[in-house]
Amino acid sequence: MSEVLIEKTGHIATLTLNRPERMNAITGEMLDTLSARLIECDDDDTVRVIIITGTGRGFCAGLDLKDATSGTGIGAPDNAAMPPRLDLRTAPPTVLHGLDTPTLCALNGGAAGYGMDLALGCDIRIAAESSKLAAAFTKRGVLPESGGTWLLPRLVGWAKAAEIIFTGRTLSSAECLELGLVNRVVADDMLIKETMALAEEIAANAPLAVQASKRMMRSALSEQFDDHVDHVFLQLLPLFRSKDFREGMVAFLEKRKPEFEGR
């Protein structure tokens, strides 16, 4: 059984971390497969939204500490499981950040260490009431290595991020909502239904426009305003010529739901 399952329903692809017996703790195989699946979905014109979730009670427990301390797996002292040359361009955090397809995290349980970074790397997070984010890095002798030091200060500000990371604190779903780390908290048994409903709402919009919006939001993180509006205008020109733009205008005038094709 693959350590990352993929299921496509309409225009939505769901990627499920699948090591429930280890709370979906990461392995090299899982990371490679996750990157490949993310790229596959982003290249698929029929996929308009990607959902990432986990099997069982946990979202992702981060490093498999049992494997690491026994000398196998990621984080082993002798680095036996580490590749001879680390190429971060194909690592899931880098791949996830570069996707044009919107990503939703269905946070079904505990997300610790790498799992927390993975959740924060998604565009939107829907959390089950029982879920938690555990910034346990400094408690394990490491740092947020998978995007957390970049993501967390931008999401909650420097001071709050410093407190969370330096203390290695675990945040309940209610605390995550208060801090703005998740978009909403729902009952555990409603998590997938609520996440799918939001995914379908996004997927119903013009996919080229949604993807261009995400690209420009990402670019805005490192651009001055004047440069950014120029780049936005360049993204707008091909949208004006798209079939979906015409469909959106006609549907509005005809007072009907548009049927977008991504062209």
Residue 31 lies in a domain: yes
Residues whose CB falls within 8 Å of the CB of residue 243, separated by 6 or more in sequence, listed in order: 261, 263
102 and 16 within one domain: yes
Please, what sign has the CA dihedral across residues 171, 4, 92, 198?
Answer: negative
- The angle subtended at Cα 64 by Cα 16 and Cα 181, nearest 5°, is 55
Same domain (yes/no): 140, 190: yes
Report the domain count for the chain.
2
The parent domain of residue 239 ranges over 207-253
Question: pLDDT tens, position by position, for the chain (263 residues)?
Answer: 799 999 999 999 999 999 999 999 999 899 999 999 999 999 999 999 999 999 999 999 997 766 655 555 665 555 555 555 567 788 999 999 999 999 999 999 999 999 999 999 999 999 999 999 999 999 988 898 899 999 999 999 999 999 999 999 999 999 999 999 999 999 999 999 999 999 999 999 999 999 999 999 999 999 999 999 999 999 999 999 999 999 999 999 999 999 999 99
Q: Minimal CA–CA distance to 106: which of 150, 179, 49?
A: 49
Residues 95 and 70 in one domain: yes
Same domain, 22 and 76: yes
Q: Are residues 177 and 195 in the same domain?
A: yes
Q: Which helix (H) or strand (E) holds 201?
A: helix 191-203
Do 21 and 49 reside in the same domain of the chain?
yes
If asked whether residues 60 and 113 sit together in one domain, one would say: yes
Are 20 and 39 in a shared domain?
Answer: yes
**190 and 213 fall within a common domain:** no
Same domain for 26 and 143, yes or no, is yes
DSSP for 140-195? GT---TTTHHHHHHHHH-HHHHHHHHHHT-EEEHHHHHHHTSSSEEE-GGGHHHHH
CATH of the domain at 121: 3.90.226.10
